[in-house]
Amino acid sequence: MINSKQKHRILAVTVGLVILSSVAILQIPNKTELKSLIVQGTDIASVKVAVSSVGGEITHELGIINAVSVKLNNTSLQTLRQHQDILHIYDDSPVELSGKPSDSSQVSMCEPSSDQYLNTCYPTFTGASALHSEGITGDGVTVAVLDTGLWNKSHLIDDSNGYRVLAQYDINKPDKKAESDIHDDSGHGSHVTSIIMSYGQTTSQLYNGMAPEADLVSVRVFDADGQGTYAGVISGIDWLVANKDTYDIRVLNLSLSAPPKSYYYDDPLNQAVMAAWQAGIVVVASAGNTGPDPMTIGVPGNVPYVITVGAMTDNYTPDDSGDDVVASFSAAGPTHAGFVKPDMVAPGGHILALLDKSGHQLAIDHPEFMEPTYREFFTMSGTSQATAVVTGAVALMLQADPSLTPDDVKCRLIDSARTASTRKGKLAYSILQQGSGMVDAYNAVYSTAIGCANRGMDISKDLDNIEHYGGPVNQDEVGNYYLMDPDGGQYTLWDGSYSQSTGYIWADGYIWADGYIWADGYIWADGYIWANGYIWANSYIWADGYIWADSYIWTTNLSEGASINSWVPQE
């Protein structure tokens, strides 16, 4: 049995929030320079009073985490830190979307076609097309996409039932709500939405999108360059949770990520995401494009409760699964709290989806990735795209069984995923690279599994700072990662190296030794709970010696901005 005095080796990294791009280091502000911050307390009313008392300007109310975003100078900041009603102060500086293609990788159709709408392949590859033929198309399920906005394109905004965009919300506009159109200047949000729910069909009646008859709520928090802030993203999630019942929002797609700088529970964006999950919204988040090294899972994908998605690619041979690989850019686990992530992988290499060749910045900057014959299709790679595939699968599951809770959905996705294994039955990739395996929408819909996700954790206690949790992954003295079972044994998982193995199969139903369920959210040391008063810094020590204390101050020298996932070369 492991007691509180034993030290566990865990890794750490620095962080900001960018949809998979790097963050600039900022200088500590001078006394008069205004700084954008997020200020959190026990309740939003007392926080507003405290901020006003030091002359701060409130720019967003973030009720979902009992916080406000503010502008104030360094003198006021120092005064505010002493206020008894203030619990945390986080930086909220913007960052830019960065990264361009590093090669001229080919743009390729999934297969030759003379159709107006190409066969995008991922619905067939994941079993979604088979569900469509059975009438399971996502009909009646509302999906929220928090991104760069929406292209006013018929197959994105319409389906067989007519106009299906229930609401659009722009956190940067004075009226915020838009009944008709919030234009997508970037194209990232439209590409992601197309993967989830495009109603376009080939002449052989194959849909382009995963859930072609789902309804949509679009929230814009990023601009044409993919820039945003923590406050903007949290504000968007706050609005979605507040309007969940109005639009019957069941799924939230978060194709964004950032390197973490604290444990999952102490990050304000993660707190908002956890609140959405607690409210009954299935949150699907990107693992990040920062792989293939271990310990690269980003925020909010490092939240143990949510469904975190990595990327695989078919090597431009969709009919041959034997040469499929986990994408080299796909972030790998474990998280800094020892959880297995990603939860699964999905198609994320050279993904075709709709984009406006003349109106979207991505298409203008990278015309070489427009499909040469069918000029409304654009190819992108990333965990953003893989996340959208899984979001569509979730919509199909919820149409088939609306009673499913977020934990039920996660359990059935994990239960039905196809693990990449060699023909001798060994894992082709560590579970810290592929999670439970490749998403299988068809088998997820028909799975009857229950109670196999997020066991041993209480999200309400987590949000209330009563209990926080560690996962079952640890690291030995030579750097190998291993899985601890409830009886104290261990299974070696990974030495941290990356190999684009081929010749394996995505097998069904890979079972861990002794029936151990790795996705449980196992609490360390035979049920020991990391209670509120326990000092994590004295117990969790990673191999590089970096320690996060409970009193870590976000505002010291790093910026916390937000943006869409940065570009990665086609793979």
Active-site annotation holder among 384, 447, 559, 566: 384
Cross-strand partners of 420? 506
Q: How many CB atoms lie within 10 A of CB 467?
A: 18
Q: Which two tokens stand for residue 10?
A: 């865990």
Q: Which two tokens stand for residue 214?
A: 């789902």
Q: How many CB atoms lie within 10 A of CB 404?
A: 18
**200-to-195, 253, 357, 370, 377 alpha-carbon distances in Å:** 11, 20, 17, 17, 11
For this structure, is 215 an active site residue? Answer: no
For this structure, is 88 an active site residue? Answer: no
Cβ–Cβ < 8 Å for 196, 145? yes
CA dist., res. 116 & res. 434, Å (int)? 34
Task: Tell me which residue of 161, 159, 217 sits closest to 189, measured CA to CA.
Answer: 217
Per-residue burial over 208-232, b if 16 or more Cβ lie within 10 Å, else e, is bbbbbbbbbbbbbbbbbbbbbbbbb
CA dist., res. 223 & res. 381, Å (int)? 20
CA dist., res. 363 & res. 378, Å (int)? 7
Q: Number of C-alpha atoms within 13 angstroms, CB side, residue 433?
A: 26
Active-site annotation holder among 147, 415, 462, 485: 147
Angle at Cα 561 formed by Cα 216 and Cα 296, nearest 5°? 85
Q: What is the DSSP string of 114-139?
A: -SSS----HHHHTTHHHHHTTT-S-T
Active-site annotation holder among 88, 188, 191, 350: 188
Cβ–Cβ < 8 Å for 285, 264? no
Residue 303's Cβ-count burial label (10 Å; 0-12, 13-18, 19+) is: buried
For this structure, is 356 an active site residue? Answer: no
Angle between helix 383-400 and 406-416 (nearest 10): 110
One-letter amino acid at 433 equals Q
Secondary structure of residue 40 in the 3-state scheme: strand
Residues recognised as catalytic: 147, 188, 384
